[in-house]
A and B are shown apart, each in its own frame.
Chain A
Amino acid sequence: MSQGYERNVLPIYFLEAKYEFLNTLRTPGFVLPSLAFPLMFYAFFGIAFGGGNGGQQAAYLAATYGVFGVIGPALFGFGVGIATERSQGWLMLKQASPMPGMAYFTAKLTMSLIFAQMILILLFSLAAFGGNVNFTPGQWATLYLTISLGNIPFCALGLLIGSWSPARASVAIVNLVYLPMSFLSGLWIPVNMLPKFMGDLAVLFPPYHLAQLALKVIDMDQGGQVWVHVVVLLVQTVLFLWLALIGFRRKVRD
């Protein structure tokens, strides 16, 4: 009696990711701000007001707006996406269906990583050709890889928000986390130019550690140890996932 119950799960993972990506791509309210804001900010502060022409500011902001850019799709995709689908009952229908549970999350992760690549490619092109930033090919590649992978802790943070937040509050919560956290982590203004009490807070936030890793590639960091930043990011990621799990368990019981 067991024949016919075998299935190949790979197509499920593929289709789940494909449709998650398509659904996101067709949502202008997500795509435009995610792609446009980092580019627009960089054009203003990195090129127009930053002197352009390969200056310090154009170089610094190429790295930090890259970090800023990849945080967006992670927080919005996971945070708002999951909060919405959870409150609509859609997540529950998916759970009741034979979909492997991990397919849902890897689809969101894939979507977030693809958007991160799109943002980085556009931003780095703008920095190189518009801002005349001249990193070595090795620096560009390392920077790209570092910031791309740096997307993952923020997916975990998004998951945490998505697992606890009511759907209607999720956009506000994501923005309240995203923007102040970016500012305090030195993504817009270097941490040492912030008032001291603000600058001291930076070490608490994951974007600070990712930004320091990125800035180290171009020799503009504050001089922290690579392994310290990596460990902090890993610990924060695990913490976010653990809290998200508690959130999901609590919601199931509602």
Chain B
Amino acid sequence: MVNESKVPLAELRNAHKSYGPVHALSGCNLQIHPGEVVAMLGPNGAGKTTAVNLMMGLLKPDEGQAQLFGVAPRHARARIRTGVMLQVSGVPDTLRVKEHIKLFSSYYPNPMPLERVLAVSGLKGLENRSFGKLSGGQKQRLLFGLAICGRPELVFLDEPTVGLDVEARRAMWDEIKDLVQHGTSVALTTHYLEEADFLADRIVILNKGKIIAEGSPEQIKTLAAKKCIRCYTSLNATQLAVLPGVVSVREHRHGVEILTAMAEETLKLMFTKDPGLSQLEIVGAGLEEAFLNLTQDNDTEVAA
């Protein structure tokens, strides 16, 4: 028998997925381990949802492998241990909150009592309300309730707070945190850095179908804050390396390339020491594109 503790809950191995000419995911390796909260962060079209859909077995990889609890994701044994919250634009409207929960609870061998699901997802007092009459935040909470009612070991949350106002988002975060404290592992997608930072143990950044960075929220934030300065200067590498914030200095075909955590401070001193500095160029440290898109798309996004 396979030692279960060594098997990742969900795994993508060199997974490729294309829709026609569009490469949604190219060569993605990802593991979700027991007890972990992993956030997949990236702009629209980065491949987050495709990655989740492959792990859940809603899509099949063109190349590579997807596994859930060590078996094929469509296997009933795997799905019975999994809860799912997807972006859903509509649900059978006339069914009441408690009816939806009872139905989804019936899919699992050992579901939570109804009262507990209502409490955990913040729907107490709304059990007899039909889905069509819920507010946006309440609908989202019911979908969360449906994902967790079966006491799953792993929960997939695809954009759990998209379209919610600040208060509702905070409430959803608390519910997710609470879930994690009770030992559930979570794989979530988001395009809010703040959300990934608040919830996750590990952040995976996707852009254009590739994982471009992976690490703890601290590591990711440091990485994101770093800037790369390129210029022609008379200062040599040793002089540059001791400036505040500088992480590394590299000779470059077009002058010198300086990686710094405090671009403004570094530059101030560089100009003081070398007023003749020229051809100045400042870019982010590889994550710029992903993060630029993140901040820009936040408010204009339409749930797809």
Q: Closest approach, in angstroms, between the C-beta of B95 and any C-beta of chain A?
A: 5
**CB atoms of A98 and B107 under 8 A apart:** yes
Chain B neighbourhood of A85, CB < 8 A: 90, 92
By CB atoms of chain B within 10 A, which of A92, A93, A95, A252 has the most?
A: A93
Write the B74-103 contact mask toward A (1 if CB under 8 angstroms, else 0). 001101111010111111111100010011
A90 at the interface (CB under 8 A from B): yes
Chain A neighbourhood of B103, CB < 8 A: 15-16, 19
B231 at the interface (CB under 8 A from A): no
Chain A neighbourhood of B295, CB < 8 A: none
Chain A neighbourhood of B1, CB < 8 A: 1
**CB atoms of A22 and B81 under 8 A apart:** no
Docked complex Cα distance between A5 and B79 (Å): 10
A100 at the interface (CB under 8 A from B): yes
Q: Closest approach, in angstroms, between the C-beta of A228 and any C-beta of chain B?
A: 40
**CB atoms of B4 and A15 under 8 A apart:** no
State whether A7 and B95 are in contact (beta carbons under 8 Å apart), knowing that A15-B103, A88-B89, A98-B80 are contacts in the complex. no
B232 at the interface (CB under 8 A from A): no
Contact of B59 among A4, A7, A84, A252 (CB under 8 A): A252
**CB atoms of B4 and A5 under 8 A apart:** no
Within 8 A of B (CB), among A17-66: 19, 22-23, 26-27
**CB atoms of A100 and B99 under 8 A apart:** no
Within 8 A of A (CB), among B90-134: 90-95, 99, 102-104, 106-110, 130
Chain A neighbourhood of B143, CB < 8 A: 93
Contact of B109 among A7, A16, A26, A252 (CB under 8 A): A7
Chain A neighbourhood of B99, CB < 8 A: 19, 22
A89 at the interface (CB under 8 A from B): yes
State whether A23 and B86 are in contact (beta carbons under 8 Å apart), knowing that A1-B4, A7-B109, A98-B76 are contacts in the complex. no
**CB atoms of A99 and B58 under 8 A apart:** no
Chain A neighbourhood of B156, CB < 8 A: 96
Contact of A100 among B76, B81, B109 (CB under 8 A): B76
Chain A neighbourhood of B82, CB < 8 A: 96, 98
**CB atoms of B86 and A89 under 8 A apart:** yes
Chain A neighbourhood of B4, CB < 8 A: 1
Chain A neighbourhood of B130, CB < 8 A: 26
Contact of A4 among B84, B94, B106, B110 (CB under 8 A): B110
Contact of B86 among A16, A27, A92 (CB under 8 A): A92
B150 at the interface (CB under 8 A from A): yes
**CB atoms of B107 and A12 under 8 A apart:** yes
Q: Closest approach, in angstroms, between the C-beta of B153 and any C-beta of chain A?
A: 11
**CB atoms of B109 and A6 under 8 A apart:** yes
Docked complex Cα distance between A7 and B107 (Å): 8
A253 at the interface (CB under 8 A from B): yes
Q: Closest approach, in angstroms, between the C-beta of B92 and any C-beta of chain A?
A: 5
**CB atoms of B91 and A90 under 8 A apart:** yes
Write the A70-88 contact mask toward B (1 if CB under 8 angstroms, else 0). 0000000000000011011
B56 at the interface (CB under 8 A from A): yes
By CB atoms of chain A within 10 A, which of B19, B107, B108 has the most?
A: B107
**CB atoms of A88 and B106 under 8 A apart:** no
By CB atoms of chain A within 10 A, which of B93, B94, B146 has the most?
A: B94
**CB atoms of A89 and B109 under 8 A apart:** no
Q: Closest approach, in angstroms, between the C-beta of B154 and any C-beta of chain A?
A: 12
Contact of B80 among A5, A26, A96 (CB under 8 A): A5
Contact of A97 among B84, B90, B91, B94 (CB under 8 A): B84
Q: Closest approach, in angstroms, between the C-beta of A112 and any C-beta of chain B?
A: 16
Contact of A11 among B80, B81, B104, B106 (CB under 8 A): B106
Docked complex Cα distance between A1 and B71 (Å): 14
* Given A1-B1, A27-B94, A85-B90, 8 additional A-B pairs, CB 8 A: A12-B106, A15-B103, A19-B95, A22-B99, A92-B58, A93-B88, A98-B80, A98-B150
A contacts, CB < 8 Å to B: 1, 4-7, 11-12, 15-16, 19, 22-23, 26-27, 84-85, 87-90, 92-93, 95-100, 252-254
**3 closest cross-chain pairs (CB), A and B:** A88-B90, A26-B94, A7-B109
